[in-house]
């Protein structure tokens, strides 16, 4: 059987070495004779796992001491409401930068909770020569007092990525669900970072939150204790039973990243993978991509067949070749190849070969 390469946007493929290790120790973890899924989250073995996970994550991302690392429930979207409930109180205002589907969904959730009077949003994507391009506004020129500015560094659905770090007078709250640890960032530039785990970290349902100490002094709204950042800090992310198996897998992914050169090594390969795919799209008039070169996502490569009537045939033949989950998000259509850290460059090369062949066949 030849290898299957899974380009799903999320839940996405996990490193094969991690999956094999998890398989081996599924019913007997750490010599305990039971699964890591079956032990108390308060057992010394599990606590040791969480401590190691945090140490490794802190090393991988170079997280400063004045930041807390939380492992929470609810994936990416839970944080859309958590940041509002934890930071805005009944009169704080926030600015949202909108660059695509996910940042726009974050605005809707915020407005639902506190109303439009507390939420401002700015559309930062423009069409320039027919291509979607991000234009970051000069935030220092905005004469308003915001508790935070929220943005999404990589729009997983639209294939739009923002590579610059925001220069902001207010704390930056960033949705890094689909870019976390895909390249190096300076954590000290952020008030809070969050990410649903299912793209670059582990199974769905888990969210990673990295929050600067002083953010926890902002006025809160009444909210569920499970979603309260202060409660999570106080209880070591164990106010209630955490998603222990997801936490375990995340810790294995962190260890895998560390053993494979860390984030800078990932970034290098990620750049090569994306370059391979975009050059194939650009070199071939059979395919197109609607994102300005400086904002082309390195994680989610969106592309279209110029002749859309061949979409179904493309997907069918790709699947036969072992290249699965290439269909674009239902909202935007077309194709999308998600190439997170776990996708080896061989998978991308195989996709490029297939795309060239398919184009030649149908030219
Ligand atoms: C996937 C994703 C989300 C949503 O994550 P869920 O875990 O499904 O809530 C939010 N933001 C971004 C950028 C994503 O890629």
- Assigned domain for 3 exists: no
Q: What is the DSSP secondary structure assignment for residue 130, as one 8-state letter?
A: T
Instruction: Indicate the residue among 235, 259, 283 that finishes a domain.
Output: 259
Residue 314 belongs to domain with CATH number? 3.90.1150.10
R_g of the chain, CA atoms, integer Å: 21
Q: Do 216 and 201 share a structural domain?
A: yes
Q: Residue 363: pLDDT band by 50, 70, 90 thresholds?
A: confident
Chain segment 162-183, per-residue pLDDT in tens: 999 999 999 999 999 999 999 9
CA torsion angle for 14, 335, 105, 296 (degrees, to 10)?
Answer: 80
Instruction: Indicate the residue among 213, 242, 259 that finishes a domain.
Output: 259
Q: Do 202 and 81 share a structural domain?
A: yes
Q: Do 309 and 204 share a structural domain?
A: no
Q: Which atom of ligand 1 is nearest to the CA of 176?
A: 13
Percent of the chain at pLDDT above 70? 99
Q: Which helix (DSSP H) or strand (DSSP E) does residue 161 occupy?
A: strand 160-161
Q: Residue 128: pLDDT band by 50, 70, 90 thresholds?
A: very high
Q: Do 321 and 209 share a structural domain?
A: no
| Residue 332 or 72, more confident | 72
Query: Which residues constitute the domain of residue 153?
Result: 17-259
Q: How would you class 34 by CB atoms within 10 Å of its CB: exposed for 0-12, middle for 13-18, buried for 19 or more?
A: exposed
Gap from CA of 156 to ligand 1 centroid (Å): 8
Q: How would you class 12 by CB atoms within 10 Å of its CB: exposed for 0-12, middle for 13-18, buried for 19 or more?
A: buried
Taking the C-alpha atoms of residue 171 and residue 228, their distance in angstroms, rounded to an integer, is 19
Q: Residue 1: pLDDT band by 50, 70, 90 thresholds?
A: very low
Residue 33 belongs to domain with CATH number? 3.40.640.10
- Are 362 and 310 in contact by the 8 Å Cβ rule? The answer is yes
Q: Which atom of ligand 1 is nearest to the CA of 153?
A: 13
Q: Do 339 and 222 share a structural domain?
A: no
- Assigned domain for 4 exists: no
Q: Do 336 and 281 share a structural domain?
A: yes
List residues with catalytic annotation: 102, 175, 199
Q: Which residues sit with their C-beta closer than 6 Å to ligand 1?
A: 10, 75-77, 102, 152, 156, 175, 177-178, 196, 199, 204
Q: Which atom of ligand 1 is nearest to the CA of 152?
A: 13
- Assigned domain for 171 exists: yes
Structure tokens at 44: 């010394």
Task: Please say if the pLDDT value at position 2 is more than 90.
Answer: no
Instruction: Indicate the residue among 204, 225, 259 that finishes a domain.
Output: 259
Q: Do 141 and 250 share a structural domain?
A: yes
Gap from CA of 255 to ligand 1 centroid (Å): 23
Residue 301 bridge partners (DSSP): 337
User: From residue 191, how far is each of 83, 166, 268 by CA, in Å?
Assistant: 11, 12, 27
Taking the C-alpha atoms of residue 360 and residue 286, their distance in angstroms, rounded to an integer, is 9
Q: Residue 3: pLDDT band by 50, 70, 90 thresholds?
A: confident
Nearest CA to ligand 1 atom 10: 76
- Assigned domain for 67 exists: yes
Chain segment 13-31, per-residue pLDDT in tens: 999 999 999 999 999 999 9
Gap from CA of 204 to ligand 1 centroid (Å): 9
Task: Please say if the pLDDT value at position 343 is more than 80.
Answer: yes
Gap from CA of 29 to ligand 1 centroid (Å): 30
Number of structural domains found in the chain: 2
């Amino acid at each position: 059987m030849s290898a299957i390469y899974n380009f799903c946007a999320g839940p996405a493929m996990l490193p094969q070495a991690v999956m094999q290790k998890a398989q081996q120790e599924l019913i007997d973890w750490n010599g305990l004779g039971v699964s890591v899924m079956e032990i108390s989250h308060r057992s010394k073995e599990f606590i040791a796992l969480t401590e190691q996970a945090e140490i490794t994550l802190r090393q991988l991302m170079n997280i400063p001491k004045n930041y807390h690392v939380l492992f929470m429930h609810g994936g990416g979207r839970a944080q859309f409401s958590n940041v509002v409930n934890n930071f805005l109180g009944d009169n704080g205002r926030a600015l949202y930068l909108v660059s695509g589907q996910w940042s726009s969904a974050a605005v809707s959730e915020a407005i639902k909770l506190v109303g439009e009077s507390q939420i401002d949003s700015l559309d930062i994507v423009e069409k320039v020569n027919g291509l979607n391009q991000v234009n970051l506004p000069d935030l220092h020129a905005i004469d308003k007092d915001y508790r935070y500015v929220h943005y999404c560094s990589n729009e997983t659905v639209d294939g739009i990525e923002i590579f610059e770090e925001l220069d902001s007078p207010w704390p930056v709250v960033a949705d890094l669900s689909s870019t976390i640890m895909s390249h190096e960032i300076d954590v000290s530039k952020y008030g809070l970072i969050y990410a649903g785990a299912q793209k670059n970290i582990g199974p769905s349902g888990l969210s990673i939150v990295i929050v600067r100490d002083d953010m926890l002094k902002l006025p809160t709204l009444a909210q569920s204790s499970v979603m309260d950042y202060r409660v999570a800090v106080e209880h070591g992310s164990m106010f209630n039973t955490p998603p222990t198996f997801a936490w375990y897998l995340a810790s294995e992914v962190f260890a895998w990243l560390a053993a494979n050169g860390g984030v800078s090594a990932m970034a290098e390969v990620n750049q090569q993978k994306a370059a391979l795919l975009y050059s194939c799209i650009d070199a071939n008039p059979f395919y197109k991509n609607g994102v300005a070169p400086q904002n082309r996502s390195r994680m989610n490569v969106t592309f279209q067949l110029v002749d859309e009537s061949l979409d179904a045939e493309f997907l069918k033949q790709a699947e036969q070749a072992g290249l699965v989950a290439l269909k674009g998000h239902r909202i935007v259509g077309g194709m999308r190849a998600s190439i997170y850290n776990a996708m080896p460059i061989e998978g991308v090369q195989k996709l490029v070969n297939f795309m060239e062949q398919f184009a030649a066949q149908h030219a």
